Amino acid sequence: MKYTHLGRSGLRISRLCLGTMNFGPHTTEQESFAIMDKALELGINFFDTADVYGWEPGEGVTEKILGRWFAQGGRRRESVVLATKVYGNMQLANMIDPNLGHGLSARKIILCCENSLRRLQTEYLDLYQMHHIDRTCPFDEIWEAMETLVRQGKVIYVGSSNFAGWDIATAQQVAAQRHFPGLVSEQSHYNLEQRTVELEVLPACLHYGLGVIPWSPLAGGLLGGALAKQAGGRRGSEEVEKRIADKREQLEKYEALSRDLGESPADIALAWLLQNPAVASPIIGPRTMEQLTGSLRSIEISLSPETLSSLDEIWPGPGGSAPEAYSW
């Protein structure tokens, strides 16, 4: 495994991040435990989760699975850089509490952090991420809550997710006025098919020293050899099949290029992200052990300028950063 710093911080994380969103809904607790044990064995020390994962209202199902895994001991918790998120609706079923709905009020942040710590069976979070922007709540209020958690030793670093470039700039300017470090990372939807963040989010992250953590690096499986799997009789949902049909010409070129390189499409997609200087650690969300171990090859792949140009032709981006991407 290779490691890098998370943005401008001194925190060292693995170049691949273990995403846990499938733990509970698609992967049993026993299988989840085995995947996490194997991830540590492989040197993956960066685990990402969220209070809403598990998709049972207010229950934090996936966080509870991680908590029971940590409770087994064996230095599991000490070995993991643990990241979770706050923002989503954490109202219990049949319960109305508007202050536990979507948002980032100081009350919500403090209460949800305490609940995540309890479910995760830990005393601190290495990285506490705002899962989405809340433009109804002033950043002074958000930072006051985060500063309190940092002072209490319950949070070490703060990150964002799904922020626009100007949201990152606003957050960092307010943090600087408060003499607080602010954000160290941004978790964004980024892959070969979805490159919108190259316009403003990635430049903002580079400017402010935030490490980018791409989610859905394989575009929901589209970049993981979708045509080859389809030809082998493995069909996805109706939505996935429609996406494959819409992108068939690009996918044919992409999978042919991968074959010519002697690599799997999934590894090419991850390697492409890893060569971007803004990217710290793409999130892999394995449902099975095979999917976990199969991703390690991407770390060793170095794509030539010619291959990068070919990928740009197949999956064109916005043309660079703004405003040069659309202006002079």
- Catalytic residue set: 53
| Cβ count near 328 (within 10 Å) | 4
Maximum CA extent, the chain: 58
Q: What is the DSSP letter of 279?
A: B
For residues 158 and 146, the answer to whether their CB atoms sit within 8 Å is yes
| Cβ count near 96 (within 10 Å) | 8
Any bridge partners for residue 129, and if so which? Answer: 85, 159
- Structure tokens belonging to residue 309: 């140009």
Positive or negative, the CA dihedral 13, 19, 23, 26 is negative
Sequence-distant (6+) residues with CB within 8 A of 204 are 165, 166, 168, 169, 186, 210
Q: Distance (Å, rounded) from C-alpha 185 to C-alpha 188?
A: 10
Q: What is the DSSP letter of 27?
A: B
For residues 117 and 123, the answer to whether their CB atoms sit within 8 Å is yes
